[in-house]
Amino acid sequence: MQCYNVVLALSWLQDLADGVVLYENDALMALAEAESADAQHETTSLASMNSIIARDLIPHLCPEQICDFGELLQTISPLPSHKFAQIFSAGLRQRFNYESETTTKLIMDSLRRLPRSPRNSQNLFSARCVVRGVLEVSQQLKLELLERLGGAMPIKSAPIDLQTSPQPLKTSPSSRVSIVMNWRRITKVFRDVYHQAQQKYASRMFLHWYENFGFGADVFAEAFETLGSVVKSYE
């Protein structure tokens, strides 16, 4: 039933939301479990998963730095057909000086969570990278991030908006980098859940639960069509 819920939710978000930050539950849980093990906690909870999401968002939304939501949305989702983004962040735990090249290397080393895409795959549509608690970084960071993410889609030649702030965060560690990306990798997530839902729908598996609450064939047909159009727009 989960794949049905995801298809229905994503289709309505595409119609109603201005922008969506998408997390993959399995990846988020794996990270929370790893952090719980490091901290010698016995269990992983929803609170620990939500804590990771909050840490990812803090550099973009922290009160010490004015956040213009309109500007953020325009940067990440400039087209109504491209609304879905993913976000990754990391704390800069090592002590470092303020030489920009050294800082760039530490930032890239810290972003081990960030998936790597094949070079020149034209994977990235748009991104906003914020580095908090650091005086400055070189433009080389943009180039290295762009290479790691597979390069820009033809629609946007300069897709990465890079911002820094020397104001430290009131967290530990106080320096953090966060990058929110609108990229073609999102279609992999969508295609997987789309095909799972279609296969179950073809066999009418669990559909009686939805029909009892008024989710008939027309609702599912519209949801499949909407999600399919999102995938095609990114491809």
Q: Where residue 159 sits, what CATH number does that domain have? A: 3.40.50.1440
Range of the domain at 117: 2-188
Q: Is residue 100 assigned to a domain?
A: yes
In a domain, 195, yes or no: no
Q: How confident is the model at residue 208 (pLDDT cuts 50, 70, 90)?
A: confident
Whether 50 is in a domain gets the answer yes
Q: Is residue 182 part of a domain?
A: yes
Q: How confident is the model at residue 34 (pLDDT cuts 50, 70, 90)?
A: confident
Q: How many domains does the chain have?
A: 1
Residue 198 lies in a domain: no
pLDDT at 37 over 80: no
Is the confidence at residue 40, as pLDDT, over 70? no
- pLDDT at position 64 is 59
Does 233 map to a domain?
no
- Structure pTM? 0.84
Q: Per-residue pLDDT for 212 more than 70?
A: yes
Is 119 part of any domain?
A: yes
The band of 11, judged by pLDDT with boundaries at 50, 70 and 90, is very high
Average pLDDT over residues 75-83: 86
The reply to whether 208 falls in a domain is no
Q: CA dist 192 to 4, 12, 89, 112, 204, Å?
A: 12, 18, 25, 24, 18
Q: Is residue 184's pLDDT more than 70? A: yes
Report the pLDDT value the prediction gives residue 69, as an integer from 0 to 100: 77
